[in-house]
Amino acid sequence: MVNMKIGIVGGTGDIGEGMACRLSHKYEIILGSRNEEKACKASECTVELLKERGLKACCLGGANQKAVDEADIIVLSLPFRHLESTLECLTGLENKIVITPINPMGKAKDHFYYDRPEEGSAALTVKKLLPESRVVAAFNNIAAHKWKILDEELDYSVAVCSDDEEAKKIVMNLVNDIPKLKAFDAGPLAVSSIVESITPLVLNIAKYSKLKDVGIQFK
């Protein structure tokens, strides 16, 4: 996919804006939001930021539906609690690659925990809601705020799960296009609950071991 377009639903948070900053000089990015004005402003800031770094970016903003309509790959940059209500408002996701970095989590008094959905994982929930989409779980274990710190490379491993082998390979290539990230084939969507549950584990390790920005690497 040489001229691949990537639409980010919920694209005005740290993950969406950070992805745009790291990918929009290679791919056309459409940042989507419920607030179209906010998405347009975020896209303009992305273009200007990369221009200051000597890079030409292609990043547009608009409503979430625009991000779906105009892109080949859709990233769901959403909290799990907003997943179903957001997808209910969108059309045209059939046969498109849909990436979910979503981790259903809860927070107890002194720790984070994996809040497993009825379907078994966020990725399996997306598949249930979008049965005709090519669902891929990826980018689950990267701290959201790290995406926007462009002076730091994302030196992490990325587990990628999907029941669609071709879609999985396309997403793995996308992962590997971001310097220092390395994609690993983690198997079918049935494995996605394991990948998603790593994030609360990492947060607990960071908290109790007094570490900062804990990530995962497979070597």
CB 96 within 8 A of CB 73: yes
CB 104 within 8 A of CB 117: yes
214, part of any domain = no
Q: What is the pLDDT of residues 168-186, one digit of tens each?
A: 999 999 999 999 999 999 9
Comparing CA positions, the residue from 72, 65, 124 lying closest to residue 96 is 72
216, part of any domain = no
Q: What is the pLDDT of residues 79-124, one digit of tens each?
A: 999 999 999 999 999 999 999 999 999 999 999 999 999 999 999 9
Cα 125 to the center of its chain, rounded Å: 15
Distance between first and last Cα of the chain = 29
150, part of any domain = yes
pLDDT band at 144 (very low <50, low <70, confident <90, very high): confident
pLDDT reading at 2 higher than 80: no
66: domain CATH number is 3.40.50.720
171, part of any domain = yes
Q: Is the entire prediction scored with pTM above 0.85? A: yes
52, part of any domain = yes
114, part of any domain = yes
CB 115 within 8 A of CB 170: no
134, part of any domain = yes
84, part of any domain = yes
Lowest mean pLDDT of 36-40, 80-84, 213-217, name the range: 213-217
**Structural domain range at position 99:** 5-208
What total number of domains does the chain contain? 1
The Cα–Cα gap between 177 and 4 comes to: 13
